[in-house]
Amino acid sequence: MSDRAALRRDLEELLLVSDEPVTSVVLAHALEVDRTDVKELCEELGRAYAETGSGLVLRNVGGGWQLSTSPDAAPVVERYVLTSRHTRLTKAALETLAIVAYKQPVTRHQISSIRGVNSEGVLRALVDRGLVAEVGREEGPGRPMLYGTTPEFLERLGLSSLSALPPLAPLLGRTDRAEDGSGDLG
């Protein structure tokens, strides 16, 4: 493989692992080449994708270079991304889901109080994905909506019932000991 081909491969690898546009300066530093060389390499790589009809395109956006899917692939990519089985839950979603699973039925306000941040959007996303559902209304002022997990939640986690969730107390105990330095590492 020629030095130029190796540089192009390395550039492609850097762009692939970057989740945001990368400036020519950063790429030049990582590849140990001039910025002008990076610009030429990026243009070559972009042309190569276009000439082969690749599902990838290389664009100069937001002051940097970024690999993205071809606009022609939008319907397929959209279908894939919107299928909940193929998308990961964010840390906020996992945290919210754990609160619902262990505290259900629970109100949006209770979830937000436990998390310390407004959880309305995250909760709505979990409902949209079918992992959490409205299960009733709390008796009391305003009769707020109560949320609980769904059969889809159990299926996705491979649980037969909520009683199969691991006990929470030992997990909390382990965390407390580790934080105060008294936990047993052996």
Instruction: Tell me the torsion sign for CA atoms 83, 84, 86, 87.
Output: positive
3-state DSSP call for residue 113?
Answer: helix
Q: Are residues 58 and 89 in the same domain?
A: no
Assess whether pLDDT exceeds 80 at residue 80.
no
In the chain, how many domains are there?
A: 2
Q: Which of residues 48, 72, 96 is at a domain's end?
A: 72
Tallying the residues shown for the chain, one arrives at 186
* Residue 185 in domain: no
pLDDT at position 19 = 79
Structural contact between residues 16 and 54, judged by C-beta atoms closer than 8 angstroms: no
In sequence order, the 6+-apart residues with CB closer than 8 A to the CB of 135 are 104, 105, 146, 147, 148
CA dist., res. 33 & res. 12, Å (int): 15
Q: Are residues 60 and 124 in the same domain?
A: no
Q: Which of residues 16, 44, 72 is at a domain's end?
A: 72
Assess whether pLDDT exceeds 80 at residue 154.
yes
Question: Over the stretch 86-134, which tens digit does the pLDDT of each residue have?
Answer: 567 889 999 999 999 999 999 999 999 999 999 999 999 999 989 999 9
Q: Are residues 61 and 21 in the same domain?
A: yes
**Pair of tokens at residue 98:** 């754990």
pLDDT at position 184 = 40
Q: Are residues 47 and 7 in the same domain?
A: yes
Structural contact between residues 13 and 27, judged by C-beta atoms closer than 8 angstroms: no
With b meaning 16 or more CB within 10 Å and e meaning fewer, what string describes 145-160? bbbbbbeebbebeeee
Q: Are residues 51 and 105 in the same domain?
A: no
pLDDT at position 180 = 46
pLDDT at position 177 = 43
Structural contact between residues 145 and 137, judged by C-beta atoms closer than 8 angstroms: yes
User: Beta partners for 24?
Assistant: none
Question: Over the stretch 50-65, which tens digit does the pLDDT of each residue have?
Answer: 999 999 999 998 889 9
Q: Which of residues 26, 43, 72 is at a domain's end?
A: 72
| Amino acid making up residue 126 | L
Bigger pLDDT: 168 vs 26: 26
For residue 58, the enclosing domain spans: 3-72
Q: Are residues 68 and 124 in the same domain?
A: no
Bigger pLDDT: 168 vs 130: 130
